[in-house]
C-alpha cells in the first residue's frame, strides 16, 4: 500500500516538483494539495493522508500553526516540515511540537523521498546541514572525536562502524547503501543494532547522543 502524502505549500512550482519526485516511486502517492495551512485543515477530514509534507512560511496559516492544529486531531497524520530557510529556531519548534522532522527543499530528490519513508515508519528526520548544529542544544561538544569515543566504549562490527560514520554525516539509508555497496536492508539492520547498542529511542536520538558525547 502506498504512503499517502498531502502536500502543503503556497508555491505551486514547489508542489509540482515534489509531486514529480514521488511519481518516480512505487510506494508514495500524492493524494491532496493545499496552498496554506488553513486550506489543508479544511480538506483534512475528507482526505486519507498518512503524512502531511508542509512548508513553514505560508500566508493565512503557517506550518507551525498547522502542526499544532493537526496534533489536536484524533488520529493525526505524520507531519514533516519542508522549507527553503535553514533556521535553528524553526527546526527546534518543529521537533518540540511533535513534528517528525525538518528537511530542506534543496535536498536531493532521493533524500526527500527517503525522509518521507523514514518519517512514516516512526523515524525523526533532520536536514543533514542542521544535524550537527542540533547537538549544540543538547550539551557541550565532546572533546574527543565522537565516532572514536563510541568505538572505544562499545564492541562494534566493522559494518556498524562504517554505517555509523556515514549516518553521523546526515546520509540517508539509500545513500549509505550506495557508498558502502551494500543493500538498504543491511543498512537498516546495522542502524537498528546501533540504536539498541547505544540505548537510543530513534535514529535521530542515536545521532544526537553520539555527537553530543553521550555515546562514549
Residue ranges of domains in the chain, CATH in brackets: 3-126 (3.40.50.2300), 138-211 (1.10.10.10)
Sheet containing 28-34: order of strands: 28-34, 3-8, 51-54, 78-83, 101-104, 125-126
**3-class DSSP state for residue 205?**
helix
pTM of the model: 0.68
Whole-angstrom distance, CA of residue 2 vs CA of residue 83: 24
Q: How far lies 121's CA from each of 45, 51, 71, in Å? A: 22, 11, 18
CA–CA separation, 104 and 36 (whole Å): 18
Residue 87 in this model has a pLDDT that exceeds 80 = no
Percentage of residues of the chain with pLDDT beyond 90: 49
The model's pLDDT over 91-121, given as tens digits with 9 standing for 90+, comes to: 778 877 888 888 888 888 998 999 999 888 8
Residue carrying C-alpha cell 540517508: 172
Cβ-based neighbour number of residue 203 at 10 Å: 21
Q: Please, what is the Cα angle at 67 between 83 and 6, to 5 degrees?
A: 70
Amino acid at each position: 500500500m502506498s504512503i499517502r502524502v498531502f502536500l502543503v505549500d503556497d508555491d505551486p512550482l514547489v508542489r509540482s516538483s515534489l509531486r514529480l519526485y514521488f511519481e518516480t516511486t512505487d510506494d508514495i502517492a500524492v493524494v491532496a494539495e493545499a496552498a496554506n495551512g488553513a486550506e489543508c485543515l479544511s480538506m483534512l477530514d475528507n482526505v486519507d493522508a498518512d503524512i502531511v509534507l508542509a512548508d513553514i512560511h505560508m500566508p493565512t496559516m503557517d506550518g507551525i500553526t498547522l502542526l499544532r492544529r493537526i496534533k489536536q486531531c484524533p488520529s493525526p497524520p505524520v507531519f514533516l516540515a519542508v522549507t527553503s530557510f535553514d533556521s535553528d529556531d524553526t527546526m527546534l519548534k518543529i521537533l518540540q511540537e511533535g513534528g517528525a522532522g525538518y528537511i530542506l527543499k534543496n535536498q536531493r530528490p532521493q533524500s526527500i523521498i527517503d525522509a518521507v519513508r523514514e518519517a512514516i515508519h516512526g523515524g525523526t528526520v533532520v536536514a543533514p546541514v542542521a544535524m550537527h548544529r542540533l547537538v549544540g542544544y543538547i550539551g557541550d561538544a565532546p572533546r574527543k572525536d565522537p565516532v572514536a569515543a563510541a568505538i572505544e566504549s562499545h564492541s562494534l562490527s566493522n559494518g556498524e562502524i562504517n554505517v555509523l560514520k556515514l549516518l553521523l554525516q546526515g546520509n540517508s539509508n539509500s545513500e549509505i547503501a550506495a557508498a558502502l555497496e551494500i543493500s538498504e536492508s543491511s543498512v537498516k539492520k546495522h542502524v537498528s543494532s546501533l540504536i539498541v547498542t547505544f540505548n537510543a529511542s530513534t535514529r535521530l536520538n542515536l545521532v544526537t547522543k553520539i555527537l553530543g558525547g553521550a555515546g562514549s
